Structure 1
């Protein structure tokens, strides 16, 4: 893949070839978009039946205005049309057979879709059919991307971690960079400490909270002012513990991976997780929660209200723990041996502690999806559990031949993705009302066969932003065998037909 030192694609001859290729591909994109409209229009009447009898409701009011240094919490508006069309695509055709590249991180603004590729961040104009050479901006980092956060500030900025030497996968992950996603401008960067464990490095992490970029590196944590880049504080990990991940958003939490001195060092009982609430501006510990010894993993789907996902069994996450503002236990949601799925990223290469893409928290509930029913007409449902009691409150059915996935909150509404299982009926982005149980469609859409890989959500990033739904690959693979060039889709954007801009 042609990312790295300035490639020949920027010569005049290559740019001319790209222009010719883009014209051919633009025609293909228009044809695919038209096909998607036809598919959606043909079956929209069937899909709308799910909404018959649902009372009309006004759009929910936006919450109080956020400060520019807050982590973004946008409230989506329904598009004028429920027909979804392809609004953006990013693909490459120069991958060699057998080539594999990681693509860490994807972020969207109203105009730009940004993607991490090897040691480079690229910004692409939404509304285009893009390939290498079409970037609005490119930001070359110190080395390969080795950490990122899904959070974005109100003014469209985020942070990533990178290795200290270009293209060296063994170099230490020791730089944090704060970047503007609209123009690719590097606001500041800093070297961060490195903590060694065994023959390698403790995995660092990065996140955003109000006005603060925070990182952990195993041996401790530190934070920087968003605007100035100056260090705000640094803490050292407590004895017998390592700082192994930081979660952001409305609040700042860090996870300590500690050893239990009373347990056998070779057993799971030797693991002891603690979660601390941290003042993002001072580093002061506000509270500490100690999980039950022997838990195999712990993630943070939400920092305010605090919700933890814990793995207490052999596989998967088994419980969701609701805490109060002082870090004390409120309620436990038991996921019933996998009947309900609490899904968080378990990628060992990138520690994103609060990346739980199908767990959403809001309106006093935590939402997860149920296990697939299976059978000839596969289906499932999304269920909401009360954060105060742990009791189930609301259930949303996917309907036959579809699977429903919670994505994120939009104000007091839950945004969810309904993915077609029969590939005949359309998929849809919908809004679910936790108070009334009402479902409201945003738009229906179909995808080309080349894009079906995006619907495998544990291998894709999903972002809903400014009326658009984006899918992005976690990695890319070159063609198999010795056949000629073929297009590899890296990202796809879908929007309401009348909302295109």
Structure 2
């Protein structure tokens, strides 16, 4: 019996929701290789250097250290096989610690051991929820915990009215709370969830509430007033709420800084009339992306600690773009092509001649500061802050030139390579920010699909759902 035929005889349903899969015994080709068993730990995530030492209830701000080797290696893969034509499963949420890659699949959270090639039933923990996941946050606490929203029943049309707080390393449900729900609008749930220090906060269009991380007790609840819906939240170092207000058939927006422990408004900023949409790019410093009469973000607005406008940054008629993802549930802070540091905002130019660049703007003056080019047949995107630097992913447009993880210095304009790698064709779709979660954590870059989709024909295919890549040697200290 061949290895391929043996693998295909071991088939299971994708976590009990319908996709038949098989164990993958071999890693993919390309430039990636699997690490030795005794060299899988990459303890590079450490507290951020640009803030005071973090406590366990803070939202983690880890610093990635340059690795000793710039050669990429396969650090993790989750893939399935033999999904039937027309099958489709939502996979919202992706998180990583130094030990575990956690993923949302339908109404289940699962955790996989890092440094493995996994498929169905290889998870080290599984946490079933009462209904499908309907809201996630990218934020994780220092001790590896996060929050998700889910429905109160297996029926995909059931209300999205539960928030669960979970430990990502163990898969333990720490607490689960029910909150008032809003009906979906055009098939999109109106609920959002985020976290800031010691606090989990949710909105449901007609109100908002917050819960203590340790006890799960409700700290406060604010209901809709003055004709303003609670549209969504942005967390991290602070808590911002986006409010949509209706009067005389006109809609205006307000952004409110909320005390996470009391629910009281610290300040409120009224967005100029005529703006069609608002995204919350950062809670502290507060940075907004607004759509002024056009589709998509046209301007960035930075606010000071009192909610007063510092400057407005025009995106030069579309020369630069802020891509905010549109999911099947509401989200106001998911714009992965833009990164905000303490004093700058990094945006991406539109692609031109198979290349682009990143340009940073000063949050106080609005002036351009530093430019980082992608290079020929390559595209570059900022991912997140790492201490006083910004981590970026350089994609390969021709799939011949290597991909890279690099560190950008906002002060000097210097670029430091972390590691380079190539991917086989099965993984190319995972490098799209519109289709996948792309993030760096503990020395690895992860590409995680937001949806599992069956093939167009009956022949079947391998479906790569999550891929992790790291340096072939641990980070330097």
Q: TM-score, normalised by structure 1?
A: 0.86
In structure 1, the partner of 2:4 is none
In structure 1, the partner of 2:170 is 183
Q: How big is the shift at 1:338?
A: 1.0
In structure 1, the partner of 2:335 is 356
Q: How big is the shift at 1:345?
A: 1.9
Q: Is there any run of 5+ residues in structure 1 with no aligned partner, and where?
A: 10-17, 39-59
User: Quick check: 2:184–2:190 contact (8 Å CA) kept in 1?
Assistant: no
Deviates more, 1:190-199 or 1:414-423: 190-199
Equivalent residues in 2 for 1:184-333, closer than 5 Å: 184-196=171-183, 203-261=190-248, 265=249, 270-333=250-313
Equivalent residues in 2 for 1:78-477, closer than 5 Å: 78-166=66-154, 168-196=155-183, 203-261=190-248, 265=249, 270-347=250-327, 349-374=328-353, 378-477=354-453
Q: Is there any run of 5+ residues in structure 2 with no aligned partner, and where?
A: 1-11, 35-47
Q: How big is the shift at 1:3?
A: 4.3
> What secondary structure is seen at the aligned counterpart in 2 of 1:138?
strand
Q: How big is the shift at 1:96?
A: 1.3
Following the alignment from structure 1 to structure 2, what is the Cα–Cα distance between the partners of residues 198 and 388? 37
User: Quick check: 1:87–1:128 contact (8 Å CA) kept in 2?
Assistant: yes
Following the alignment from structure 1 to structure 2, what is the Cα–Cα distance between the partners of residues 424 and 198? 44
In structure 2, the partner of 1:489 is 464
User: Quick check: 1:108–1:463 contact (8 Å CA) kept in 2?
Assistant: no
After superposition, the CA RMSD in angstroms is 2.1
> What secondary structure is seen at the aligned counterpart in 1 of 2:400?
coil
Following the alignment from structure 1 to structure 2, what is the Cα–Cα distance between the partners of residues 296 and 460? 26
User: Quick check: 2:431–2:438 contact (8 Å CA) kept in 1?
Assistant: no
Per-residue Cα deviation, 1:252-276 (whole angstroms, up to 9, x for no partner): 0111111133xxx2xxxx1211110
> What secondary structure is seen at the aligned counterpart in 2 of 1:499?
coil
Following the alignment from structure 1 to structure 2, what is the Cα–Cα distance between the partners of residues 361 and 368? 9
Q: How big is the shift at 1:93?
A: 1.3
> What secondary structure is seen at the aligned counterpart in 2 of 1:458?
coil
Check 1:471–1:426 CA distance in 2 against 1; reply closer, same or farther (3 A cut): same
Q: How big is the shift at 1:5?
A: 5.2
Following the alignment from structure 1 to structure 2, what is the Cα–Cα distance between the partners of residues 403 and 241? 40
Following the alignment from structure 1 to structure 2, what is the Cα–Cα distance between the partners of residues 173 and 359? 29
In structure 2, the partner of 1:45 is none
> What secondary structure is seen at the aligned counterpart in 2 of 1:424?
coil
In structure 2, the partner of 1:48 is none
In structure 2, the partner of 1:13 is none
Q: How big is the shift at 1:336?
A: 1.2
User: Quick check: 2:395–2:403 contact (8 Å CA) kept in 1?
Assistant: yes
Q: How big is the shift at 1:294?
A: 2.4
Check 1:296–1:135 CA distance in 2 against 1; reply closer, same or farther (3 A cut): same
Q: How big is the shift at 1:288?
A: 0.4
User: Quick check: 1:112–1:181 contact (8 Å CA) kept in 2?
Assistant: yes
Per-residue Cα deviation, 1:197-251 (whole angstroms, up to 9, x for no partner): 7797861000000000000001110000000000000001222111010110000
Per-residue Cα deviation, 1:278-337 (whole angstroms, up to 9, x for no partner): 000111100001111222211111100000011113221101110001111000110112
Following the alignment from structure 1 to structure 2, what is the Cα–Cα distance between the partners of residues 8 and 340? 40
User: Quick check: 1:172–1:201 contact (8 Å CA) kept in 2?
Assistant: no
Q: TM-score, normalised by structure 2?
A: 0.91
Following the alignment from structure 2 to structure 1, what is the Cα–Cα distance between the partners of residues 188 and 82? 33
30, 47, 53: which is aligned to 1:65?
A: 53
User: Quick check: 2:57–2:213 contact (8 Å CA) kept in 1?
Assistant: yes
Check 1:214–1:8 CA distance in 2 against 1; reply closer, same or farther (3 A cut): closer
> What secondary structure is seen at the aligned counterpart in 2 of 1:287?
strand
In structure 2, the partner of 1:56 is none
